[in-house]
Amino acid sequence: MVRKATAAEQQEWDVLPSATDIARRRLSSFILMGCLLTLTTPFMPFCWLNCFDFIDYFVTRVILVGALYFQYVIAGIVAPVTVKMLDRRIVWVYKQRMYWYYAAFEVAIVVLVRWSGSELLRKVASVFLVGALWELGYKATGRRMKDLFRQYIWWAWAYPISFPRHLAPSFK
């Protein structure tokens, strides 16, 4: 015998969000991107270790653009995403109903860091948020977009090296 699911069961099974809810999430992701940029500027995670300025020059742009894109991707998640660590154990499962809790958590971290004024707390929080966005967003991104992002990475790394000679300044 088939019976209709109760309200509690529907909540448990994660019914799909409406199109307006997805639009609200994606709009809020732009606000969260602004919050992330206010926290991470300047974002130089390797330079904070008092070395590797050259690595920061190449890696920072890619890491930050990826985190901003993954913020948008996370806003559009409708299916559960399994987050696994390196040893392949399931750490937790992200469900679409958790979005607003995580958005509020991100805003709370940004407000707390800005209110405290601690530079060390800002660095730790920015690395934590960017890492969390990469962890969840990379797993939720489709294969086609990952390939496009890899092409962007190679372009971002190769462009400063292969600067056109006719545009380069002359030192004569």
Residue 160's SS3 state is: coil
pLDDT 10s digit of each residue in the chain, 172 long? 667 767 776 666 666 778 888 999 999 999 999 999 998 887 777 766 666 666 777 788 788 889 999 999 999 988 888 888 777 777 888 888 889 999 999 999 999 999 998 888 998 999 999 999 999 999 888 899 888 888 877 777 776 655 555 554 444 4
Measured between alpha carbons, how far is residue 129 from residues 18, 55, 121, 149, 162 in Å?
Answer: 27, 20, 12, 20, 33
User: Shortest CA distance to 86 belongs to which of 135, 132, 146?
Assistant: 135
